[in-house]
Amino acid sequence: MVRDVDVKLLTDNIKEMCIEATHFLTPDMDAALKKATAEEEAPLGKQVLEQLQENLQIAGKEMIPICQDCGMAVVFLEIGQDVHFTGGNLMDAVNEGVRRGYVDGFLRKSVVKDPLLRGNTGDNTPAILHTEIVPGDKVKITVSPKGFGSENKSKIIMLTPADGIEGVKAAVVNAVKEAGPNACPPMVVGVGIGGTFERAAYMAKKALTRDVSVRSELPHIAELENELLEMINKSGIGPGGLGGITTALAVNVNTYATHIAGLPVAVNICCHVNRHAVRVI
């Protein structure tokens, strides 16, 4: 049976989610950061993590964004195939939610109208919208405000099948090492392997929204995630780039089928807050 969903419901939720995501960590990220603070061995690294904890407490108490870069709004919609949107245009509804969230929430507006001519849009729109059709009659909304300190350090590497898993590991670890302190470590590393040029990037970005305590359902990929995290944390970059054993809090890997001649790898890095909010309507 078809379920009608007024796009106003999307607008209202996205507005609230923009404010929520920029002020509060998700429970999994909060737990991961607390664990890292307790386990960090380097004095300077531990001091950085303690300062981050203090910052989070102040942000929550005073309702101040946890980072001054409130990001560009990335919205994922997993839309049930039995949903029929009513009341207006879907993209317009998403952008209106972002506009209200950033204006009414007094969040920093960081989006420019044209990549070359620049010129701030004044309300952080347009958003980046990714849609996926799934079974059912629900809509899963994920709002991820993406700061560009870490976004600028992300990479796509078009490997060949001959590069194999060792080539994949090297590509991911090298991307993190090149990012260094500029990606605001400790970071979360999203990786997309397979598909095509653009599919790999999408998978890497979506991987950042997965609970950092949950490993891939594929045993060989779960093993790869654990190995990459260990390799990255042995780099010594540490919190704030000041040294330590906590360069990354998690490595989340998504995969997809690919061409016999290809092995695309995308690395999408996010800073220690890895902001996102998730709701199902």
pTM, 2 dp: 0.95
Q: Which two tokens stand for residue 46?
A: 């531990």
> Model confidence over 223-255: pLDDT tens digits?
999 999 999 999 999 999 999 999 999 999 999
Cβ atoms 247, 175 nearer than 8 A: no
pLDDT bucket at 34, cuts 50 / 70 / 90:
very high
Interval 116-146: pLDDT, tens: 999 999 999 999 999 999 999 999 999 999 9
Across the range 196-207, mean pLDDT stands at 98
Rounded to whole angstroms, the Cα distance separating 126 from 74 reads: 10
Reported as a pLDDT band with limits 50, 70 and 90, residue 26 is very high
Distance, CA of 207 to CA of 129 (rounded, Å): 16
Q: Give residue 18's pLDDT band: very low, low, confident or very high (50, 70, 90).
A: very high
The first and second tokens of residue 259, run together, are 């061409």
b/e per residue, 3-16, with b = 16+ CB within 10 A? Answer: eebebebbbbbbbb
**Cβ contacts of residue 58 below 8 Å, gap of 6+?**
64
**What confidence tens digit (pLDDT) does each residue in 164-194 have?**
999 999 999 999 999 999 999 999 999 999 9
Give me the phi and psi of 188, to 5 degrees please.
-110, 135
How far apart, in whole angstroms, are the C-alpha atoms of residue 261 and residue 103? 47
